[in-house]
Copies of this chain bind each other. A is one copy, B any other.
């Protein structure tokens, strides 16, 4: 233990020396080269402790943040394989984006720790200022959950699941959620200004974030690299763009002419060669979760006979009708020539009968309001408006009636949607009621 402390003492002194040199304006590249060894010797899990001590000794967070950047840069190399992977992959390749995001996450984890630790040595206005900064940092961390983690959960994991690799995605997702929930808890403690808890949870969040970087860099990404084809990465990149990235703007070096392959288009099984090259940690995880190594690939055909191909999925006509009937709203669609083409079944607020199919909408309205109907349609057709909404009281219920211009992806007018719902009960909803509270 004393050796460890001494060791850290030395590292700390070295870092202080480095910061002074940076402070005095020495060339950053030269400084980096000189202190490369000591920086490399500091693990990402150790640096928060050193930083905390530096803060105690009066080094400002701003200076330490600068050190962080350099450390992260050095650290990239020390993350097993990661840097070489990044270098190997062309900018814009989905795997490279993941590695790049993880470098950002590492840095943020350190900064989080740093600011949290510095709180303990501050008083009064300074303390409050740092707390506000910390709050901003923590709020920013939430984006990891809905970009980087969300992409993995929604886009990358399905490619593994089709091959029967369910265990690792499940473990990672559970840990992602723990991190999300810890970040939320941290925000609540920041609101309460419970400094002891803030420091404690910040350190916990930081170490969880770093742990996840390691797991992803060492298990998930190598696995994806071994198993996925170019067409799969092509699809992933297209889908990734829909969700967005964490602090990274993907480069445009990588491009592929391969046809995108969706998870539901995969029927191959993992080959023995692939299995042998998979990270040992993955194999261990699978063994511990599944008891055996028997993979159960998912070869379900997505598309069935009679399926209607829609923009985002496939449904049978019977399913489409039933979905519309089930929705707690009335839907009616008129085409670009103002003729009623469809209305939803089920329990309706305003009854519709098949006799109105094909009928010009102008003949479906009380004659005295037809001129307004025409005005709205005109505004939809010439692109001036996309929505018109009304609400009325009917037998003690509040009814919301919304009209929307329906356009295709090219923006062309396809028709108008009438969307009617009874909002009486919705208006009364207060507080929260979460999935886990269901009974």
Binding site for B on A (CB under 8 A): 146, 150, 154-155, 157-159, 161, 166, 169-170, 173-174, 177, 235-236, 239, 242-243, 262-264, 298, 300, 302, 308-315, 317-329, 331, 333, 335, 339-345, 351-360, 363-364, 366-369, 372-373, 375-376, 388-393, 398, 400-402, 404-408, 414-415, 417, 419, 423, 426-427, 429, 431-438
Q: List 9 A-B contacts (CB under 8 A).
A: A154-B355, A154-B364, A161-B363, A242-B351, A300-B339, A313-B343, A314-B341, A319-B335, A375-B438
Instruction: List 13 additional A-B contacts (Cβ < 8 Å) besides A242-B351, A310-B324.
Output: A154-B353, A159-B355, A169-B363, A263-B355, A300-B358, A302-B339, A311-B325, A313-B340, A314-B342, A372-B436, A391-B432, A426-B426, A427-B427
Cβ contact within 8 Å between A417 and B323: yes
Cβ contact within 8 Å between B302 and A355: no
Contact A158-B333, Cβ < 8 Å, known A414-B319, A433-B390: no
Query: A429 contacts which chain B residues (CB < 8 A)?
Result: 391, 398, 400, 423, 427
Query: A366 contacts which chain B residues (CB < 8 A)?
Result: 173-174, 177
- Give the complex CA separation of A353 and B312 in angstroms: 8
Can you tell how many copies of this chain the complex includes?
A: 2
Query: A357 contacts which chain B residues (CB < 8 A)?
Result: 262-264, 302, 312-314
- Give the complex CA separation of A433 and B388 in angstroms: 11
- Scoring A313, A324, A434 by chain B CB atoms within 10 A of each residue's CB, the highest score goes to A313
Cβ contact within 8 Å between B321 and A341: no
Closest to A236 in B: B355
Give, as a whole number of angstroms, the nearest-CB distance from A426 to chain B.
Answer: 5
- Give the complex CA separation of A389 and B438 in angstroms: 9
Contact with A438, one of B177, B388, B433 (Cβ below 8 angstroms): B388
Query: A298 contacts which chain B residues (CB < 8 A)?
Result: 360
Query: A415 contacts which chain B residues (CB < 8 A)?
Result: 319
Cβ contact within 8 Å between B344 and A312: yes
Give, as a whole number of angstroms, the nearest-CB distance from A37 to chain B.
Answer: 42
